[in-house]
Amino acid sequence: MPKAKVARKSTAIDMTAMCDVSFLLLTFFILTATARQPDPLEVAIPASTVEFKVPDKDISIVTIAKGKVLYEIVGRDIKIRTLERMGEEYGIQFNDEEKKRFAVIPAFGVPIGNLKQFIMMEPDQRKASGLETMGLPMADTTERNELGRWIFHSRKAVAELHNQSMQISIKGDANEEYPAIKKVVDIFQKQDMNKFSLITSPKGGI
């Protein structure tokens, strides 16, 4: 009786297809990844069940954490126009280099007097100098209320350039005390902005 021979198969597998798939996935993840710029202040945002995504243009974000207030304008063109308008109001001239650098700064909380110096710093210097987390002054008088002026001018800039009304949102730390939020909301309401949004993180499953 002849012995039944089991054909010996090679253990090498063709990896080509697998390689294709994995690189496709890799490309997808690289392209969808948005380099997240770290916030100057640590903000733990509370969770909620709402489903509206934060729009990515014509919006500005007021960050409130540890009693400090930072302001973030979205959009490079809007940032530059807002800076120009602020410069006009406070009598500070910003040159093109400074405008360009300001356009890539995410959130800032620097009093206008230190802004020029802040813009010209390198990112690591900004952190070290402590200017980054000084917070915007918001005294009661109009001209000392820089947060109010920033909001006002960015709204004007959005209206000028995009013909849209700007949305404003609050990104508050979960442990922030309510009066700090109220102070900012009162500034909105002084400018007749009764509608605003609260930025929250999506909550999974109820």
Binding site for another protein (CB under 8 A): 12, 15-16, 18-19, 22-23, 25-26, 29-30, 32-34, 36, 45-46, 48-55, 64, 169, 171-182, 185, 189-190, 192, 194-202, 206
Cα separation values, 5 from 1, 11, 84, 159, Å: 12, 18, 85, 82
Task: Please tell me the distance from the alpha carbon of residue 204 to that of residue 184, in angstroms, as a whole number.
Answer: 29
CB 138, CB 29: distance < 8 Å:
no
Task: Please tell me the distance from the alpha carbon of residue 166 to that of residue 151, in angstroms, as a whole number.
Answer: 9
Minimum distance between the CB of residue 189 and another protein, rounded to whole angstroms?
Answer: 5
Structure tokens at 84: 């120009």
Minimum distance between the CB of residue 79 and another protein, rounded to whole angstroms?
Answer: 20
22 versus 117: smaller Cβ distance to another protein = 22
Minimum distance between the CB of residue 173 and another protein, rounded to whole angstroms?
Answer: 7
Beta partners for 107?
72
130 versus 179: smaller Cβ distance to another protein = 179
121 versus 138: smaller Cβ distance to another protein = 138
Q: Which of 86, 94, 52, 106 is nearest to 154 (CA)?
A: 86
22 versus 142: smaller Cβ distance to another protein = 22
Minimum distance between the CB of residue 170 and another protein, rounded to whole angstroms?
Answer: 8
